[in-house]
Chain A
Amino acid sequence: MAKLTFQGGIHPYDGKDLSKDKPIVELKAGPVLVFPLSQHIGAPAKPLVQKGDYVYRGQKIAEAGSFVSANIHSSVSGTVKAIEPRRVASGDMVMSIVIENDEKDLEMQYCPPEDVEKLSKEDILAYIREAGIVGMGGAGFPTHVKLSPKNPEKIEYVIANCAECEPYLTSDYRRMIEEPEKLVAGLKIILSLFDKAQGIIAVEDNKPDCIKLLKDLTRNETRISVRALQTKYPQGGERSLIYATTGRQINSSMLPADVGCIVNNVDTIVAVERAVIEGKPLMERIVTLTGDAMKHPRNYKVPTGMSYSEILEIAGGFKETPEKMICGGPMMGVAIFSTDIPVTKTSTALLALTKDEVSAMEPGPCINCGRCLEVCPGRVMPSKLADAAEHFDEETFLELHGMECCECGCCSFICPAKRPLTQEIKSMRKIQLAKRKK
């Protein structure tokens, strides 16, 4: 069988060896936790508590503001200290619930279903919605919305996105190695929502141990197959992944469900398992602390709301002062100027780099080499789009299909003139998307 892959893409230094072989360590929450009300795509959640209220671990402290939104739960017991704007990774100030940890770990009584097999589809979705699960690969799209497509009977594939193509990140890898049965169980729950669907666990072939483990585990599952993908960035991008596994293409104005697919990330599927089997809400996630400046790179299970600076302190801090700190991976992550930022449901990693390659490079003129076209998984013309964006030529930008860019960063990575192509295109897309909403 031909290798499962897509056209374009790049092979950056993957840095996964730094953290991949060390088991996940569970961290205890710090003294103060911050829960931004908007840590998902959609309407911000509405607070259910007030300043001074006492909350338990696992208590719902904010509820979904609309259908496309998600509940938020406290990851500690303690007192609500404030509801105020706090800085998040994107640099914005977001209204957040601040909770002082009383270290007593008083937990809510969860009510898991007596028999999962007997749950109706509506019940399963209700459990998932209640748990506040969102896409944990980074986008943060509410999972209950994703799992409620217009025509559920037309879904043919439920794809578990285990590619983890982003360099340095190993949280999904550790999750698959340490709790593969939870991934399979979670996938089975999601499959029970779609009668005609086949489950595909799609893993990049740089993780042969995961592939073997998951293949052994799913040997007797008729509805689940494990597929090896070529290791290439952005293999785990939704569009690339669907194409690699099913040969179907979607563009920017289509949803995976339009071609009969549902894609979920490893951690999201494990959260679904926890929500439905144990009735537990989403209040922790795996975060990779890594980079050449990190003293002890490894994966941690972190309560949501905990600040990165506290995690760093527990994790042993830096080996060398970093020049750049990134929330997420080097390709799609967000650079942060301070680590006083809370871990949210979508935080995948904290990357500390001793050198900021980008600021050391002076962008030069485009030499028309065409490498950006070759690596672009969206098959658009990044150099021409960036040109149009730079001159604010909206007409040309749209005519050259600028909206089909998925902002993966391959063009900026490969550009020999070191032009900030992705940045230019992103800014223009943002403006165009805002205009569409009007």
Chain B
Amino acid sequence: MSTQYHVSSNPHVRSASSTSSIMTLVVIALLPAAGFGIYNFGLRAALVLLVSVASAVLTEFLFGLYKKKMTITDLSAVVTGLLLGMNLPVTVPLWMAALGSVFAILVVKCLFGGLGQNFMNPALAARCFLVISFPRQMTNFISTGEGALDAYTGATPLALIKVGESVNVMDMILGKTTGTIGETSTLAIVIGACILLLAGVIDLRVPGSYIVSFAIFTVLFGGHGFEPAYISAQLAGGGLMLGAFFMATDYVTRPITVKGQYVYGIFLGIMTGVFRFLGPGAEGVSFAIVLGNLLVPLIEKYTRPVPFGGKGVKRNG
């Protein structure tokens, strides 16, 4: 018998992009916002990010040892750890950051079957878990930068608005305000989002419908009518941008159907508005997204695409 060649089913070529290349791009896109967080809050922010990333990767590694299937090379644990860290206040105890990462990776992801099987965004689920378990530490925000006034120490811009104070929208867009490590600078987040959009990792379907529907909800129910400064502050604050571009777009926990993605985005916009304006708190992005995650199977079921030729003859030629 002469040489035997490899045999496999078609197609015999594959595109260059891989799970790890996508995750790498997400990490790169998160760097401007993370970097700004370190600049804004100081070196302790870097330490918090480091601890959350390291404990996420370590958890994934240990679970991989137990399951005898190593999955850290797909880099998804790095993304989860980084996102969680960016959603924590800089004052958070380090053990709490580590606990959050362990919860995200072990409970939310691995126990449900690993990457692709989790029904909630691990980083956000862990943040919600921490906010509920340790409300005081998780909302202990400090003032930052020279622009911050001592009088407002400890209050995020949205908390200030809620009690009727005015805020500097320009500071919010640049990020010279307080909040969680990665959420303050709209500019840095949008730069990262542009990287993902240009690389084709995400599209505007979810973030676009989320932001637009939230803006409309704000006009209708925000209590200020059509007031550009108020709407901008609502859009720039409370991690809405970070949530819309980096967490609502999480592949695993958003609907896969095109129509479903619009429905999901609009749902998130409305729920964020409900939490912010009708609830007691000032924020609502995390809970809106986590709630949206739970509805994904239902949304997908009712937004299935019509197959080509499914409606029979269509003449438009």
Contacts and interface: CB of A to CB of B under 8 A. Distances in A.
A154 interface: no
A216 interface: no
A369 B251 contact: yes
A243 B242 CA distance: 41
7 contacts: A12-B15, A91-B7, A367-B76, A415-B14, A416-B19, A418-B14, A426-B9
Contact of B256 (A335, A351, A383, A401): A383
Contacts of A309: 2
B65 interface: no
Interface residues of A, number: 75
Contacts of B1: 338
A250 to B, nearest CB: 5
Given A365-B115, A373-B258, A407-B10, 16 more contacts: A10-B15, A247-B316, A248-B315, A249-B313, A330-B13, A331-B11, A351-B12, A353-B12, A356-B12, A357-B13, A359-B8, A367-B116, A379-B307, A381-B256, A404-B308, A417-B18
Contacts of B5: 322-325, 335-338
A6 to B, nearest CB: 8
Nearest to B17: A416
Q: Which of B1, B13, B18 has the most CB of A within 10 A?
A: B13
A412 B14 contact: yes
A251 B20 CA distance: 36
A252 B308 CA distance: 9
A378 B14 contact: no
- The B contact surface, by secondary structure, is loop
Interface string B9-39: 1111111011101100000000000000000
A380 B117 CA distance: 21
Interface string A376-420: 011111011000000000000000110010010100111111101
B74 interface: yes
Contacts of A356: 6, 8, 12
A378 B21 CA distance: 27
Given A323-B5, A338-B1, A416-B21, A249 B12 contact: no
A364 interface: yes
A218 interface: no
A334 interface: yes
A361 B312 CA distance: 39
A435 B217 CA distance: 53
B304 A381 contact: yes
Contacts of A340: 2
B3 interface: yes
B4 interface: yes
Contacts of B14: 357-358, 361, 412-413, 415, 418
A13 B315 contact: no
A422 B1 CA distance: 31
A407 B17 CA distance: 21
Contacts of A13: 13
A321 interface: yes
Contacts of A357: 12-14
A147 interface: no
A261 to B, nearest CB: 10
A418 B313 contact: no
A247 B308 CA distance: 12
A337 B9 contact: no
Contacts of B17: 414, 416
Interface residues of B, number: 46
A43 to B, nearest CB: 26
A309 B11 CA distance: 23
B306 interface: yes
Nearest to A246: B317
A332 B9 CA distance: 9
Interface in A244-289: 245-252, 254, 258-259
Contacts of A420: 9
Contact of A251 (B116, B251, B308): B308
Nearest to A383: B256
A246 B116 CA distance: 40
Contacts of A413: 11, 13-15
A336 B15 CA distance: 22
A416 B7 contact: no
A367 B6 contact: no
A167 B13 contact: yes
A335 B7 contact: yes
A379 B1 CA distance: 44
A418 B12 CA distance: 12
A422 B10 contact: yes
Interface string B47-73: 000000000000000000000000000
B286 to A, nearest CB: 20
B225 interface: no
B117 A365 contact: yes
A236 interface: no
Q: Which of A321, A325, A370, A426 has the most CB of B within 10 A?
A: A370
Given A251-B310, A368-B256, A321 B3 contact: yes
A236 to B, nearest CB: 15
A416 B10 contact: no
B74 A364 contact: yes
B91 interface: no
A13 B12 CA distance: 12
A386 to B, nearest CB: 12
A119 interface: no
Contacts of B76: 367
A340 B9 CA distance: 19
A373 B317 contact: no
B10 A334 contact: yes
Contacts of A91: 7
A331 B10 contact: yes
Contacts of B306: 379
A348 to B, nearest CB: 13
A338 B2 contact: yes
Interface string A306-323: 000100000000000111
